[in-house]
């Protein structure tokens, strides 16, 4: 049995997400997307004071050309912080269907694969 208890598969992608707080849009990077939510990257930026568990958010995912490919509402369900990195997870209010997830992936693109190491000396 897998230790991964997620209800829906996660897909890595190359996209930005605009998270609205009040009248301000914060443009951030998306790490992955599923039918039920998204993992968002704050990178090295300090955690904004408005970001808290259960915070309701509206978000719009944007492809590389700046076109909105998905608009969702949800809430922050997890925040992870290390010394050099910060992420937060959004759980959508409504599941998006598989066809919509795949359409977003097609528009946003996937990140390039990691380099394959050929022995101890690297690539």
Model confidence band, residue 110 (pLDDT cutoffs 50, 70, 90): low
Q: What gap in Å lies between CA 46 and CA 49, rounded to an integer?
A: 9
Residue 113 falls within a domain, yes or no? no
d(CA 85, CA 41): 8
CATH number where 24 lies: 2.40.10.220
Mean pLDDT of 78-87: 89
Q: Is residue 78 part of a domain?
A: yes
Cα 40 to Cα 79, 117, 123, distances in angstroms: 10, 28, 30
Question: Is the per-residue pLDDT at 38 higher than 60?
Answer: yes
Tally of domains within the chain: 1
Structural domain for 26, as ranges: 11-108
DSSP annotation string for 69-121: EEEEEEEEEEEEE-SS-EEEEEEESSPPPHHHHHHHHHHH--PPPPPPP-STT
Q: Is the pLDDT of residue 113 over 70?
A: no
119 found inside a domain: no
Residue 85 lies in a domain: yes
């Amino acid at each position: 049995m897998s230790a991964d208890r997620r209800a829906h598969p996660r897909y890595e992608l190359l996209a930005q997400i605009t998270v609205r707080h009040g009248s301000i849009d914060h443009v951030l990077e998306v790490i992955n997307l599923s039918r039920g939510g998204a993992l968002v990257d704050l990178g090295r930026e300090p955690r904004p004071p408005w970001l808290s568990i259960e915070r309701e958010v509206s978000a719009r995912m944007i492809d590389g050309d700046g076109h909105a490919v998905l608009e969702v509402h949800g809430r922050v369900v997890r925040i992870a912080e290390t010394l050099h990195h910060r992420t937060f997870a959004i759980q959508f209010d409504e599941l998006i269907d598989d066809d919509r997830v795949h359409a977003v992936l097609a528009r946003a693109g996937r990140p390039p694969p990691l380099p394959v190491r050929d022995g101890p000396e690297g690539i």
